[in-house]
Chains A and B, each alone.
Chain A
């Protein structure tokens, strides 16, 4: 079964500094999607960034970028110029390949990011 592991329960970063959140996953598939979601105290899940496994180029969205290492099954999130509003729970997620019209998303256990002023 596919699994997603986030080994850092909690991370702290100074405002304006850079932080990297780790994520590893296990799958035998070659085509899949990976995501990072942010859950602030409001508990609304917000998409941060996505990566298609067939694309070698790492995805970037403004201050957020990923380091996707397919062979190592690693998908880390880098947040540059951290802001107070970045403080949240971050979940790494894996999406199964499409099959029979349905597909599951599997979430990691999350990393709580604290941003220090």
Chain B
């Protein structure tokens, strides 16, 4: 089946630094990838839709300059949390459909802790 690989699984960084999270589709081409944020015991909140070769589409209330998304190839999308602050601590999950009729395939998620 389709596999989405997300790295790192855990990261701890100091306030003010930037962190990059990678999301790769290992055995299929993903023209679209979705980035979600999940707070403890809550649902998945869509942050942005990443499209290969074009700018990401951000959801209302998500800071574009804070959460930089790059989708430079059909198998890789990255989310960079810039100038991280403790309130950015959360669980971030990427996902991608294999095709139009395919369900979402999810990465394992990244637990970000900003100290």
Contact = CB atoms under 8 A, between A and B. Distances in A.
Interface of A: 33, 35, 37, 42-45, 47, 50, 91, 93, 98, 101-110, 112
A45 B103 contact: no
Closest 8 interchain pairs by CB? A45-B106, A107-B44, A109-B43, A107-B43, A47-B103, A43-B109, A110-B43, A50-B103
B53 to A, nearest CB: 11
Contact of A105 (B41, B46, B57, B91): B46
Interface residues of B, number: 21
A104 B32 CA distance: 10
Interface of B: 31-32, 34, 38, 41-44, 46, 49, 51, 57, 91, 93, 95, 100, 103-104, 106, 108-109
Contacts, number: 49
Contacts of B51: 101-102
B103 A102 contact: no
A98 B31 CA distance: 14
Q: Which of A45, A50, A101, A112 has the most CB of B within 10 A?
A: A45
B106 to A, nearest CB: 4
Q: Which of B34, B42, B49, B106 has the most CB of A within 10 A?
A: B106
A35 B103 CA distance: 8
24 contacts: A33-B103, A35-B104, A42-B108, A43-B38, A43-B91, A43-B108, A44-B106, A44-B109, A45-B93, A45-B95, A45-B106, A91-B44, A93-B104, A101-B31, A102-B49, A103-B32, A104-B34, A105-B34, A105-B46, A106-B46, A107-B43, A107-B44, A110-B42, A110-B43
B46 A104 contact: yes
Nearest to B111: A43
B26 to A, nearest CB: 15
Contacts of B100: 98
